[in-house]
C-alpha cells in the first residue's frame, strides 16, 4: 500500500472517528444521570448539584459537547467515576487481554478450519463431507451466550475441570477461547470448503496433477493459497468484531477485557469509560483493516492498490 493511499485512508478514518465520538457523546447520555446512580437515594439536592458541578454536567449540553471534542483531539477522556482513575489508562489495561483472547481464538479457528475445509473439499459428497457440513453449520449458528453457559455448566460445574469465571492462568482462557472460536470456525469451514472445491477444479491444479504432483501437494500448496483469499477477508471482519471484545462471552466468564469493561461502563453510567473504550476499539479496527489489506495483497500478488 502506497504512502499516499495510507495517508488518505488515515484522514478518512480520523473524520469517521470524530463523527463516531460525537455520536457516542450524545448516546451515552441517554442512559441517564450518573449523579442519581452514584449518590444515595436520600442525598440532598445540594449534594446532587455539587456533584453535577464537579462533573461539569451543570453546563449547557452544547458547551459540554465542544469541550468533549476538544479533549478528544488531545486524547483526554477524563477520569472514570467507577475506577477513580484516568479512563484511557483503565481501557489500555483491558484492551490487551481482549486482543490476546481474540487473536488466540481466531488463529485456532483459522488453522483448524483450513485443515477441516480441505478434508471436506477433498471428500466432497461423502459421509465425511456431510458430517463436517453439519458440525460447521451448527458451530456457525450457535449463540455465544448459550454456548458459554453450557460450557460453564458442563466443564466447570459438573465436571469441575475448569474455572467458572475470572482471570488468571491458562485454565481461565480455555472456555472463553472455545466459545469465541466456534462461530468463526463454522463460517470459515464453509468458505474454505467452497473455495477449495472450486480451486481443485481449476486449470492450474489439473496442470499440476498432469505433471505428477502428489495430491497432498496439489491441495495444500497449489489450491489452498487461492482458496484462503475469501477466508482472509472474512477473518479480517471477524477480527474487527473481536476487537470490541466478545462482550457477551467476557461477561459470561467474567473475563476482564474491553467488552466487559464497556458493558459495565454503560450500566454504571461511566461516560469516560464508555467514550474511551469506543475510541480505542475504533482505532484498533482501523489498524486491523489496514493489516488485512496488506495480508491480502501478500497472499495474492495480483491484488494491488492502484
Q: d(Cα 2, Cα 8) in Å, to the nearest integer?
A: 10
pLDDT in tens, 229-262: 788 778 877 887 777 656 788 888 988 989 899 9
Going by the DSSP 8-state scheme, the letter that residue 79 receives in this structure is B
Q: d(Cα 71, Cα 195) in Å, to the nearest integer?
A: 48
State how far Cα 12 lies from the chain centre.
21
The confidence band for 133, taking pLDDT boundaries of 50, 70 and 90, is very high
Q: d(Cα 234, Cα 192) in Å, to the nearest integer?
A: 11
Q: Between residues 239 and 211, which one has the greater pLDDT?
A: 239
Mean pLDDT of 275-293: 86
Mean pLDDT of 37-64: 85
With a pLDDT cut of 90, the percent of the chain lying above it is 28
Whether the predicted pLDDT of 304 surpasses 70: no
Residues 6+ positions from 31 with CB-CB distance below 8 Å: 266, 269
Residues 6+ positions from 197 with CB-CB distance below 8 Å: 121, 124
Between helix 61-73 and helix 3-28 the angle, nearest 10°, is: 150
CA distances 31 to 57, 93, 267, 271, Å, are 14, 25, 8, 9
The confidence band for 211, taking pLDDT boundaries of 50, 70 and 90, is low
- Please state whether the predicted TM-score (pTM) of the whole model is above 0.75: yes
Residue with cell 469451514: 189
In this structure, how many other beta carbons lie within 10 angstroms of the beta carbon of residue 206? 12
DSSP of 214-230, one letter per residue? Answer: -HHHIIIIIIHHHHHHH
- In the three-class reduction of DSSP (H, G, I as helix; E, B as strand; rest coil), residue 145 is classed as helix
Mean pLDDT of 15-28: 90
For 247, phi and psi rounded to 5 degrees? -45, -50
For 79, phi and psi rounded to 5 degrees? -105, 140
For 4, phi and psi rounded to 5 degrees? -65, -45
The confidence band for 124, taking pLDDT boundaries of 50, 70 and 90, is confident
Whether the predicted pLDDT of 305 surpasses 50: no
Q: d(Cα 32, Cα 215) in Å, to the nearest integer?
A: 63
Q: Return mean pLDDT, the chain.
A: 84
200 burial level (CB within 10 Å; 0-12, 13-18, 19+): buried
Residues 6+ positions from 63 with CB-CB distance below 8 Å: none
Between helix 127-141 and helix 171-200 the angle, nearest 10°, is: 130
What fold is seen in the domain 87-299?
MetI-like fold (1.10.3720)
Are 258 and 92 contacting, i.e. CB atoms less than 8 angstroms apart? no
Are 46 and 56 contacting, i.e. CB atoms less than 8 angstroms apart? no
Amino acid at each position: 500500500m502506497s504512502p499516499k493511499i495510507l495517508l488518505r485512508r488515515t484522514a478518512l478514518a480520523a473524520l469517521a472517528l470524530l463523527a463516531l465520538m460525537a455520536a457516542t457523546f450524545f448516546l451515552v447520555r441517554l442512559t441517564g444521570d450518573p449523579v442519581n446512580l452514584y449518590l444515595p437515594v436520600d442525598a440532598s439536592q445540594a449534594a446532587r448539584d455539587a456533584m453535577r458541578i464537579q462533573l461539569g454536567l451543570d453546563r449547557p449540553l452544547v458547551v459540554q459537547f465542544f469541550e468533549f471534542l476538544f479533549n478528544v483531539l488531545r486524547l483526554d477522556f477524563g477520569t472514570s467515576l467507577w475506577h477513580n482513575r484516568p479512563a484511557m489508562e483503565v481501557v489500555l489495561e483491558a484492551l490487551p487481554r481482549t486482543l490476546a483472547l481474540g487473536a488466540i481464538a481466531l488463529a485456532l479457528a483459522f488453522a483448524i478450519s483450513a485443515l477441516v475445509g480441505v478434508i471436506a473439499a477433498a471428500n466432497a459428497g461423502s459421509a465425511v463431507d456431510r458430517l463436517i457440513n453439519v458440525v460447521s453449520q451448527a458451530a456457525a449458528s450457535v449463540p455465544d451466550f448459550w454456548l458459554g453457559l453450557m460450557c460453564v455448566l458442563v466443564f466447570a460445574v459438573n465436571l469441575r475441570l475448569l474455572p467458572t469465571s475470572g482471570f488468571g492462568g491458562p485454565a481461565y482462557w480455555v472456555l472463553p477461547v472455545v466459545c469465541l472460536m466456534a462461530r468463526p470456525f463454522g463460517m470459515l469451514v464453509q468458505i474454505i470448503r467452497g473455495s477449495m472445491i472450486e480451486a481443485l477444479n481449476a486449470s492450474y491444479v489439473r496442470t499440476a496433477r498432469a505433471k505428477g504432483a502428489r495430491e497432498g501437494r496439489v491441495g495444500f500448496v497449489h489450491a489452498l493459497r487461492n482458496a484462503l483469499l475469501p477466508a482472509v477477508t472474512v477473518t479480517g471482519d471477524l477480527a474487527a468484531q473481536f476487537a470490541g471484545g466478545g462482550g457477551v462471552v467476557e461477561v459470561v466468564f467474567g473475563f476482564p477485557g474491553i467488552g466487559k469493561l464497556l458493558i459495565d461502563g454503560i450500566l454504571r453510567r461511566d461516560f469516560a469509560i464508555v467514550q474511551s473504550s469506543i475510541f480505542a476499539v475504533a482505532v484498533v479496527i482501523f489498524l486491523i483493516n489496514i493489516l488485512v489489506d496488506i495480508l491480502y495483497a501478500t497472499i495474492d500478488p495480483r491484488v494491488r492498490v492502484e
